[in-house]
Structures are given as structure tokens and as C-alpha cells.
Amino acid sequence: MNNFPSAITFENIEKSFGSLKVLQGITGEINRGEVVAVIGSSGCGKSTLLRCFNRLETINHGRLIVNGIDLSQSEINYTQLRELRTQVGMVFQQFNLFPHLSVLENLTLAPRKVLGKTPKESAQLAGLYLEKVGLFDKASAYPEQLSGGQKQRVAIARSLCMNPQIMLFDEPTSALDPELVGEVLQVMQQLAAEGMTMVVVTHEMQFAREVAHRVIFLDRGVVVEQGSAHEVLTYPQSDRLRIFLSRLNVV
Ligand SMILES: Nc1ncnc2c1ncn2[C@@H]1O[C@H](COP(=O)(O)OP(=O)(O)OP(=O)(O)O)[C@@H](O)[C@H]1O
């Protein structure tokens, strides 16, 4: 367990793609054991913020510390990047499973290659986490044989095999048929109850309301409001948040 006090600290971070300023000076903190939902309209920078947290994107300006690793610099060394990718798991909208590998092979690959586990140790780990997401019986299936909800549960189990301290979820249920959303949210809810630090970019306001400790509302690359899910979703202070929520029929 890393002893750095907060899981993620970000101060005045900025990120541009060419002339497009996507993050325009964002400051905040994710505490250990906290579940934070990041909400906002399409294109406001939610995914970019999340991707900065595991260095899929590099910030242009500001200070960013993730699990004690300083990501403020434009260059970090290979050891730090490996450490970061081990400690911070990420689940994507499109699952990103390897189609040519079985479920078991998808789960055991990183523990073997990155953590140096033996095939037996990694298979044990995989079994443990497949059990946790209710898919032990699918170990020898291939991704194409699974439903979207099952694929996403496999993707979560795959991340958990690395024993991460922080989990990032980028719209994990957006690509799913509505009837499959619940099974994925349930797994996430269980992780949250076990104390996992989670940052979740989501359009699922019910999940935000029921599971998130805190909600951050982004608009055009700035944090417009943040607070408890109850405060932010029930008593929006700004017109921008009111309009966003009314479009989703939340308020
Ligand atoms: N690699 C990139 N190169 C150029 N522009 C990018 C890149 N990634 C994101 N953008 C742009 O940055 C802006 C913010 O994108 P981002 O994906 O962070 O938004 P979002 O809030 O997650 O949106 P959505 O809810 O639709 O996923 C968008 O205008 C997007 O087109």
C-alpha cells in the first residue's frame, strides 16, 4: 500500500490537443477509498481527465500526483510508468479484451508478463477474480462468445488481477444494451463497498447517486461544481449543471 496521503492530487492541470484546450486548469483530489463520479456533457473533457490519471495522456501544465507518482513532468521513466500501470487499473467503454485469447488468457497475461507470476499463480489469481465477477464458468470462452456485460465483467476482473490500488472507469456501461448495465454496475458497487478507490466517468446518474461519495461536474474543461452526490445532483447551483441534469431528466 502506497502511503501517499491522497490517491490522486491534481492542481491547475491543463491539456490541449493542438489549439483545442480540453482541460483548462482543473484542481481537485481523490481520497483513498473514495468513489468519485465525473459527469458532464459530451466533449467536456471527462475521458481526457481520466486518461491523464494513468498517463494515457500527458498534461501540458499543472501538478498531478497519482498514488505518489509525480506525473507533472513531460517525461517519466519506464519503471515509474510500469509501477503506475500496475497500481492504477483502467476499464474502457469498449472492453479492450484481446479477441484471440480466451478469458483465462486475457486475465493471466499481465500477471505473468508484468508481475512475473508463474502460470499456476496467475491462473489462481484469474480464478479468484472470475469468481468475484460471477464468470468462473467462462474461463475457456473467447470474448466473441460473451455478452457485452460479460465482456465488461471480464475486463474488470482482468484489471483486478494486477491488484490495483486505484480503478479508473471510462463510461463502462455506455456500450451495453440497457438490460446488461445492471450486472456491471453491481460488480462496481461491490468493489466500492470493499473500499476500492474509484474514479468513474459515467452518464449513469443513479449509480452516481447511490454509489459515488462525490460527484465532479465538468463543463468545457473546467470543474463547475463538485460535492456529495446528493448535493450536486439534487441541488445544482449553476445553470450549466441544471441544464445538463434536466436534459437527463434527473432534476
Ligand atoms: N487524442 C485526441 N486528439 C485530438 N482531440 C482529442 C483527442 N482526445 C480527445 N479529443 C477532443 O477533446 C475533447 C474532449 O474529449 P473527451 O473524450 O475528453 O470528452 P468527454 O467529456 O469524455 O466526451 P464523451 O462523453 O463524448 O466521451 C473533444 O473535443 C475531443 O474531440
Q: Tell me what ipTM this predicted complex has.
A: 0.96
C-alpha 48 to ligand 1 mean position (Å): 6
Are the CB atoms for 213 and 34 separated by under 8 Å?
yes
C-alpha 90 to ligand 1 mean position (Å): 17
Are the CB atoms for 7 and 66 separated by under 8 Å?
yes
Which pairs from 234-243 meet CB under 8 Å and 24+ separation? 241/217
Residues of the chain with pLDDT under 70: 1-4, 250-251
Give the pLDDT score at 73: 85
Give the pLDDT score at 168: 98
Q: How far apart are CA 110 and CA 231, in angstroms?
A: 40
**Angle 153-203-70 (CA atoms, 0-180°, nearest 5)?**
75
Task: Quote the pTM value.
Answer: 0.94
Residues touching ligand 1 (Cβ under 6 Å) are 17, 20, 22, 40, 42-48
- DSSP code for 82: H
